[in-house]
């Protein structure tokens, strides 16, 4: 198993960039597909991006495609979410999750979740 720990969330202005990190504190990080999800106040949790265990395949929600980039460094047991051109509607708690199979959009596929990091985008 792995234990994801997110960091990097903060208050930014619209148009700014921000990079979130998710470090796996234990376990076989290289064996897991990793995903980012987010949950805004009063809304359901939604898929943002995912990357396969090898890093060779990625998937993005339409709402972030072209603005966000997911990557991973298996040597550092870390996955990143580079967020550019941030918008107020990107405001949410961002969660990192690890899953054993490649079903990126299904949160039920992810067995291990972090505690989340708050991203707030002011207009």
Q: Give every CB contact of residue 60 below 8 A, 6+ residues apart in sequence.
A: 48, 49, 68, 70
What is the per-residue pLDDT across 18-36, written as a single tens digit (0 to 9) for each? 999 999 977 788 899 999 9
Residues of the chain with pLDDT > 70: what percent?
A: 100
Q: What are phi and psi of 111, to 5 degrees?
A: -90, -25
What percent of the chain has a predicted confidence (pLDDT) above 90?
87
Residue 89 pLDDT > 90, yes or no?
Answer: yes
Look at residue 29 in the predicted model and tell me its pLDDT. Answer: 86
pLDDT of residue 15: 98
The stretch 69-87 carries a mean pLDDT of 96
Q: Is the pLDDT of residue 49 over 80?
A: yes
Whether pLDDT at 3 is above 80: yes
If we measure between CA atoms, which residue out of 29, 56, 27, 46 comes closest to residue 90? 46
pLDDT of residue 68: 98
- Asked whether the predicted pLDDT for residue 117 surpasses 80, the reply is yes
Q: Quickly count: other Cβ atoms within 10 Å of residue 39's Cβ.
A: 14
């Amino acid at each position: 198993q792995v234990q994801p720990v997110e960091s990097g969330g903060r208050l930014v202005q619209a148009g700014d960039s921000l990079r979130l990190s998710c470090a796996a504190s234990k376990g076989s990080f290289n064996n897991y597909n990793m995903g980012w999800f987010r949950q805004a106040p009063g809304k359901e949790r939604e898929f943002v991006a995912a990357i396969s265990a090898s890093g060779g395949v990625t998937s993005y929600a339409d709402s972030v495609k072209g603005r966000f980039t997911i990557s991973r460094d298996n040597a550092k047991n870390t996955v990143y979410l580079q967020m550019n051109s941030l918008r107020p509607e990107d405001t949410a708690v961002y969660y990192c999750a690890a899953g054993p199979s490649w079903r990126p959009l299904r949160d039920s596929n992810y067995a291990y979740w972090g505690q989340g990091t708050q991203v707030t985008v002011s207009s």
